[in-house]
Amino acid sequence: MLKKLFKYEFKDLVKYIKFTWFGILGIAVLTSVSLLLTVNIVVNPGDSTTSLLLTLFSTGSSSLMLIGLSVVMLITLVLFVVRFYRSMLSNEGYLTHSLPFSADQLLNVKLLCGVLIFIIDVAIMAVAVIVAVLPTLLTQATIGEALRAIFILIGEIYKNLGVGYGIALTFEAVLIAIISVFTSCLFPVFCMSIGQRFKNRIVVSVILYIGIQWGLQMIGSFAWFVLMIVSMMGGLPALEDLAFLPTVTVIGAVVIVFEAAAALVFYFVSRKMLTKKLNLV
């Protein structure tokens, strides 16, 4: 039964989000064509019209690509939030909570579906970037040459950083990305689970989301400001100095602990509110 619930929830999310995936892949194809034309077509110096059209086509498609990449995950988040609110906290919630599943199970399934959708988002965005730039790169070099250049670049980065720090920073970056996906799903659920206790539940949820987001950004900005000041006063190596790497790994560890703690708080508060203090419309 739980497997069927997961399948239904996932299909319902994909039903709408798939259009953003098709859209970004379509824009990627358009960008690829524009880049190929720009790189491979030799325009007569006197042909200003063709040159202008190529420039407009290339600039427009590249701009669309950047905009598309920046909003894919935002659209996913909005659709996830709308779906969660509608099925768990609105009138539809009466039907949802009458199903033979506990509130824990409903919450876990919806969160796992959201996380999976975000992971697919990242994969689709990676494919879109590859589709956009790879054909143009292949006109300049073979696949082997392109891959060799990429591996050489990665090797140089690790060589400059030091293998130990390179692996540590890569591990921290991957872990932060994974935890951030969970936090991205849990944070709005946390705000909605508290907001549903009030009369103007949507307004309260939005105020909570914006307020907590603003507070966290202020804390992060202040911490970065202090770090910069300490570095400028000689308490730490300069930010561009490789001697700063130990500090970077410590900062990464602190971010991981903070993100994980926030995710746990968001989850357990949401779980309690939805199981013990649920207030449907």
DSSP 13-59: HHHHHHHHHHHHHHHHHHHHHHHHHHHH----TT-HHHHHHHHHHHH
Residue 104 reports pLDDT greater than 80: yes
Residue 45 has pLDDT above 60, yes or no: no
Prediction pTM value: 0.79
90-98 long-range Cβ contacts below 8 angstroms, 24+ apart: 90/280, 90/281, 91/280, 91/281, 93/278, 93/280, 93/281, 94/280, 97/278, 97/280
Average pLDDT, integer, range 93-112: 84
More confident of the two residues 248 and 211 = 211
Domain segments of the chain: what residues?
A: 1-140, 143-281
Choice between 101 and 156, residue whose per-residue pLDDT is larger: 101
- In the numeric block, which tokens belong to residue 172? 């921290």
End-to-end alpha carbon distance in the chain: 27
Q: DSSP characters for 139-208?
A: HHS-HHHHHHHHHHHHHHHHHHH-HHHHHHHHHHHHHHHHHHHHHHHHHHHHHHHHHTTSTTHHHHHHHH
With pLDDT > 90 as the criterion, what percentage of the chain qualifies?
A: 8
Of the spans 101-110, 183-192, 219-228, which averages the highest pLDDT?
A: 183-192
Q: Is 101 helix (H, G, I), strand (E, B) or coil?
A: coil
Q: Is the pLDDT of residue 239 over 50?
A: no
The answer to whether 115 and 181 are in contact (CB under 8 A) is yes
Report whether pLDDT(279) > 80: no
Positive/negative CA dihedral, 197, 201, 206, 211: negative
pLDDT digits (tens, 9 = 90+) for 4-22: 888 888 888 888 888 999 9
**Alpha carbon 227 to chain centroid distance?**
26
Q: What are the pLDDT digits (tens) for 211-225?
A: 988 988 888 787 777
